Amino acid sequence: MTLAVKHPVASLAAVRALFLERQHLARPRAAGLTERRLTRFVEDVGGIQMDSINVLERAHYLTVWSRFGPYDRARFDRLVYERRLLFEYWAHAACLVPTTTLPWWRRAMLDYRVRHTGWSRWLQRNARVLREVEAAVRAKGPMGNADFDAPRSAGRRGGWWNWKPVQHAFHYLWMTGALTVHSRRHFHKRFDLMERAFPDGLGDDVVSAEAFLRWHLERSLHALGAATETDLARYLSFPRLLLSVRRAALRSMIDRGEVVEIGVAESPGRWLALARDLPALARA
């Protein structure tokens, strides 16, 4: 006879309260922006999404305002691009992520070379462009697309697939960790060598793929407080994971006692939470 396993049950109000706390929205704009608070905020949420669309203000500046209230935007940019508390990478979309997480994102950068085989044909045709772009940055320092004046083919429409080869080269070198975004000028990216931007941040140790996957899921669960599998797939959505791979990793974390299955009283279905968050869910 198999007995049903009884999972802890949290109220929907408790789940909501923990989510707002982790997203730093429980008491928005109650404290001003400092280095420590900025780092803590971005570590808790996983990343601040960036967007080229600008109606009122760039999305990442509005996100910071929504948590800290009015702040000096130039100071914020210095914290990112001079103090390097954060760096740009593709966590959900283009995001500012904590520099403290660089050892884990380096795993994703290294894996990008083998995961994203759609680049194979482009790399074969443009190997020289890739070498020349990286060599130019190495020799001259931070550079952007505008520093390479080869024009786009006449009559071609804009959009990602109509980028000139240099733009694709910059993107590939950024995604694979050879380059990083050094700074922005009028929101246009300027790239530099990763090892030059982070001279003390690139040790020889790289986490394993298994350790990265557990960390990736742990960070998403931490940011959400409690989540369904669909929530996890849509939060830190890069790198994309096969459902079978995610479920196997979650099962391993459940077996290790790191993750627990919970019930949510007003929401049927399978929910997950970090074991260490059960007291917080009980208090909320």
Crossing angle, helix 73-81 and helix 35-45, to 10 degrees?
70
208-283: what CATH class?
mainly alpha
**Percent of the chain whose pLDDT exceeds 70:** 91
Give yes or no on whether 116-197 and 208-283 have one common fold.
yes
**29 vs 82: CA distance, rounded Å:** 25
For 91-151, give the DSSP string.
SSSEEEEEGGGHHHHHHHHHHHHHH-GGGHHHHHHHHHHHHHHHHHHHHH-SB-GGGS-PP
Return mean pLDDT, the chain: 90
Confidence of residue 143 (pLDDT cuts 50, 70, 90): very high
Q: What is the pLDDT of residue 258?
A: 98
H-type alpha helices, the chain: 12-22, 35-45, 59-68, 73-81, 102-115, 120-140, 165-175, 194-197, 209-224, 229-234, 243-255, 278-283
Comparison of pLDDT for 92 and 87, the residue scoring more: 87
Q: Rounded mean pLDDT of 77-96?
A: 96
Q: What is the pLDDT of residue 204?
A: 65
116-197: what CATH class?
mainly alpha
Q: What is the CA radius of gyration of the chain?
A: 21
pTM of the predicted protein model: 0.90
Residue spans per domain, the chain: 31-101, 116-197, 208-283
Q: What is the pLDDT of residue 268?
A: 83
Q: What is the pLDDT of residue 6?
A: 75
Count of other CB atoms within 10 angstroms of residue 54: 10
Q: Which of 77, 76, 73, 98 is nearest to 87 (CA)?
A: 98
pLDDT in tens, 40-67: 999 999 999 998 878 889 999 999 999 9
pLDDT in tens, 2-28: 445 678 899 999 999 999 999 999 999
Q: What is the pLDDT of residue 4?
A: 53
Q: Rounded mean pLDDT of 173-195?
A: 96
